[in-house]
Structure 1
Amino acid sequence: MRTLSQLPTAIKQYLIVTGNYWAFTLTDGALRMLVVLHFHQLGYDPFAIAMLFVFYEFFGVVTNLLGGWLGARIGLNKTMNLGLGLQIIALAMLLVPGEYLSVVLVMAAQALSGIAKDLNKMSAKSAVKQLVPKDAESQLYRWVALLTGSKNALKGVGFFLGGALLTLFGFTWAIAIMAAGLSLVWLFSIVSLKQDIGKAKNKPKFKDIFSKSRAINVLSGARMCLFAARDVWFVIAVPVYMASEFGWSHTLVGSFMAAWVIGYGIVQAQAPKITGKQSGQPPSQYAALIWAAVLACVTLLLTLALNSPLPNLYVLPLGLLVFGAVFAVNSSLHSYLIVSFAKEDGVSLDVGFYYMANAMGRLIGTVLSGWVYQIYGLSACLWIAFILLIITCAISILLSKHNN
């Protein structure tokens, strides 16, 4: 504790922000897995399960667009604590007796959780820009990669936690345990987090929520297609396919998805080493294009392999691991670029706009994942993912090295 107290203020604030992000992410990943597996167990078809997350993703779009403006006006500490509080309320909404756990109630709770998640994420990613010295691009890349990678590793642990809690305690008690733990984190954050992180010197107007930067607009378009390409097969199709076609238990599905996301997070945290950019200079203008092209090739090969005589029981898990590793580098690279491109004053405006596009991609992917899988199967989901990645490559060609 003495060592922690002697750390520079910026480091301590970074640790608090990261800790908040970790705790929130555990509950977010666990809640998603709980809802998918619980409602699959109740007999809901894949498209109906996907619809449970529509409001979660839709309100993520709205929250990122407005949350960046709000963070610039009142401070990122307040928007982060607001996100934690809303997640606790969302979890509490699901503590009703089973006979009252309707689809409408779950969708409403997911809507609130979507607002909470993107307030928390926007606040965490924006805060890093404020805590790193100007022109320290190498340090910024490492801190963003560490924050993003560790968050996704913890999201994987959340997937495992969700499957395990559902098996051990049932749906209601699992939700209660998570709500209690997150409440303690929320109270600590209210007391400990600095009051003025990210607060703009000049109060931004509402019209400023839309980015005026060409680089950020292009990067946002690429991000939207990138995440739609992931979620079109990963969010609903993969866990339901594993449960129905492979006959895997809830715990096994949750464990595999957890291992996948943990590995994905570890690779994200190592992205600065993988891309070889630790010299203090931003990655090349071609980096986003190159890694998107590699991911498109991986997706095409996996799609072809699933339609070959090779057993899908081995092809799908192996393909997921390779896809996850390459996707992780893409995601970490994008996360660094948006923080680097964002304006110093009112950074959350640019970051919020960018993650609005990210949420839009997840929304598109989630809806398509349930609908396309239900009608056409897993291979069709992967073909759509490949097409979206080709579009990502085309957009990435337009990226310039500078933010003007």
Structure 2
Amino acid sequence: METALRNYLVVTGGYWAFTITDGAIRMLVVLYFHQLGYSPFEVAMLFLFYEFFGIVTNLVGGWLGARIGLNLTMHAGMALQVVALLMLTVPDEWLSVVYVMLAQALSGIAKDLNKMSAKASVKALSGQGSESRLFRYVAVLTGSKNALKGAGFFIGAGLLDAIGFRDTLYVLAGILAVVLVVTAGLLPSGVGKMSSKPKFKHVFSKEPAINWLAAARFFLFGSRDVWFVVGLPVFMYSVLGWSFTEVGAYLALWVIGYGFVQAAAPMLIKRLHHGRGPGGDTARALAAVLAVVPAGIALGLQDSDAASIWLVAGLIVFGVIFALNSAVHSYLILAYSDAEKVSMNVGFYYMANAGGRLAGTVLSGWVYQQVGLVGCLWTSAAFVVAALVLSVRLPGVTAAGQLAGSRSD
């Protein structure tokens, strides 16, 4: 048990370091290229390959992790992120849309290799027999990751003001390279590796619960990114008149708070479930409440004098409910999977997650450019309703970690 816990902590530490660079590079690209004169839609397009290759990476990465081990896929992700950071250090005249999209493609592959590996490792390292412990482990990993992604937003924006774009990239690449070397030396080989070599066709789940959950995940994450990725920071900077550091600091605090709520999700939800993990009913209830929030913010923004108040307060409410919903989803994909197939199931699930992020990112730039932030918010509300409808088929989970109503093999 001590060895398993140590390995879990090493995986978590590596994931933390990677996440800081991921948050920082996102904020750097949005703010720096907006400053260079890119339109909101062009800024969104910079992330097109980042999200698209996330879809491909999750699909292939889960299968690859099952064949060669999750530790190797995690470290491959770190190495690619170092390369992606260094690619952006070239002179401004080299930073065409296509070039930055290619750098972001590598970053997207890196992020999803790292995330899939870390999340799937939790199932392998948590042991069997306690769904409440599994919920705690995945909630802490996911919540702390999001808190540190928020810290990455702040670090990226702050360093952009303090030392400039390229020096920030050098600092981030150097730190991540050190973490890569350390974690590679500490982790054992073969984590999450299947005893048999799975065929690629086995990546596509035959379990209906996983397919419904993946579809709901697509729309849940699309509902966030459709206003959060481009529309929100550009609105804060160009309409509300906030500085780069103020935009980065607020979004950082939001994501940090979001992460703390995710980490606390087991404590916040446990009274409803009497020691077992949450089920499909919890996901449905949270989606129903969440759908109201972006619609409410959109209505509130009609009063331009109170726009800042509606936006700041609405973001807090959205963040709390979205964090709980996301934590429940992250638990359910592990609870619905057996330990032998967890890598491929998690890869399939995060392929849907990346698809939702891609749709949300592209729409965030396009909808904002056409109808502004209010249009982004109404699109967000529609996406949450779609996630709610798809969650209707999600089953519960028994105390032993089986799907409610199922038999063990």
What range is the shorter-chain TM-score in?
Answer: over 0.9
Instruction: Identify the residue that residue 176 of structure 2 maps to in structure 1.
Output: 182
Which residue among 333, 353, 357 is the counterpart of 2:352?
Answer: 357
Deviation at 1:70, TM superposition (A): 0.2
SS of residue paired to 2:366: helix
CA distance in 2, matches of 1:240, 1:296: 23
Alignment of 1:224-373 (within 5 A): 224-276=218-270, 279-308=274-303, 311-373=306-368
Deviation at 1:102, TM superposition (A): 2.0
Percent of residue pairs bearing the same amino acid type: 56
CA distance in 2, matches of 1:227, 1:239: 17
**Conserved 8 A contact 1:72-1:198:** yes
TM-score, normalisation: structure 1: 0.97
CA distance in 2, matches of 1:284, 1:119: 27
Which residue among 184, 195, 198 is the counterpart of 2:189?
Answer: 195
Give the count of matched residue pairs: 398
Q: Which amino acid aligns with 2:255?
A: V
Deviation at 1:97, TM superposition (A): 2.0
Matched, 1:398 2:393: yes
Instruction: Identify the residue that residue 60 of structure 2 maps to in structure 1.
Output: 66
Q: Which amino acid aligns with 1:116?
A: A
Q: Which amino acid aligns with 1:256?
A: Y
Q: Which amino acid aligns with 1:228?
A: G
CA distance in 1, matches of 2:321, 2:339: 30
Which residue among 373, 377, 380 is the counterpart of 2:372?
Answer: 377
SS of residue paired to 1:246: coil
SS of residue paired to 1:63: helix
**Conserved 8 A contact 2:279-2:332:** no
**Conserved 8 A contact 1:199-1:346:** no
Q: CA RMSD in A?
A: 1.2
Instruction: Identify the residue that residue 389 of structure 1 maps to in structure 2.
Output: 384
Deviation at 1:398, TM superposition (A): 1.1
Instruction: Please list the CA deviations of residues 19-56 of structure 1 after superposition, one character each: whole Å capped at 9, or x if unmatched.
Output: 01000000000000000000011111100000000000
Which residue among 7, 17, 41 is the counterpart of 1:13?
Answer: 7
Instruction: Identify the residue that residue 204 of structure 2 maps to in structure 1.
Output: 210
Matched, 1:29 2:23: yes
Deviation at 1:309, TM superposition (A): 5.9
**Conserved 8 A contact 2:270-2:276:** no
Q: Which amino acid aligns with 1:152?
A: N
Instruction: Identify the residue that residue 169 of structure 1 maps to in structure 2.
Output: 163
SS of residue paired to 2:150: helix
Deviation at 1:279, TM superposition (A): 4.2
CA distance in 2, matches of 1:102, 1:377: 26
Instruction: Please list the CA deviations of residues 113-142 of structure 1 after superposition, one character each: whole Å capped at 9, or x if unmatched.
Output: 000000000000000000112121010000
Q: Which amino acid aligns with 2:30?
A: V
Q: Which amino acid aligns with 1:400?
A: P
Instruction: Identify the residue that residue 127 of structure 2 maps to in structure 1.
Output: 133
CA distance in 2, matches of 1:287, 1:248: 37
Instruction: Please list the CA deviations of residues 66-96 of structure 1 after superposition, one character each: whole Å capped at 9, or x if unmatched.
Output: 1000000000000000000010111111121
Deviation at 1:321, TM superposition (A): 0.8
CA distance in 2, matches of 1:71, 1:280: 31
Range moving further from structure 2, 145-154 or 293-302: 293-302
In structure 2, the gaps of 5 or more residues are 398-402
Deviation at 1:310, TM superposition (A): 5.3
CA distance in 1, matches of 2:94, 2:224: 33
TM-score, normalisation: structure 2: 0.95
SS of residue paired to 2:280: coil
Alignment of 1:95-134 (within 5 A): 95-134=89-128
Deviation at 1:99, TM superposition (A): 2.3
SS of residue paired to 1:96: coil
Q: 1:112 to 1:257 in 2, by over 3 A?
A: same
Deviation at 1:346, TM superposition (A): 3.0
Q: Which amino acid aligns with 1:296?
A: A
**Conserved 8 A contact 1:138-1:279:** no
**Conserved 8 A contact 1:138-1:280:** yes
Instruction: Identify the residue that residue 42 of structure 1 maps to in structure 2.
Output: 36
CA distance in 1, matches of 2:258, 2:292: 18
Deviation at 1:104, TM superposition (A): 1.6
Instruction: Please list the CA deviations of residues 302-333 of structure 1 after superposition, one character each: whole Å capped at 9, or x if unmatched.
Output: 22111246510111011111101110000001
SS of residue paired to 1:345: coil
SS of residue paired to 1:287: helix
**Conserved 8 A contact 1:52-1:110:** yes
CA distance in 2, matches of 1:10, 1:344: 15
**Conserved 8 A contact 2:34-2:43:** yes
Deviation at 1:380, TM superposition (A): 0.6
**Conserved 8 A contact 2:279-2:394:** no
Instruction: Identify the residue that residue 400 of structure 2 maps to in structure 1.
Output: none
CA distance in 1, matches of 2:9, 2:393: 36
**Conserved 8 A contact 1:235-1:366:** yes
CA distance in 1, matches of 2:303, 2:325: 28
CA distance in 1, matches of 2:186, 2:209: 35
Range moving further from structure 2, 370-379 or 343-352: 343-352
SS of residue paired to 1:397: helix
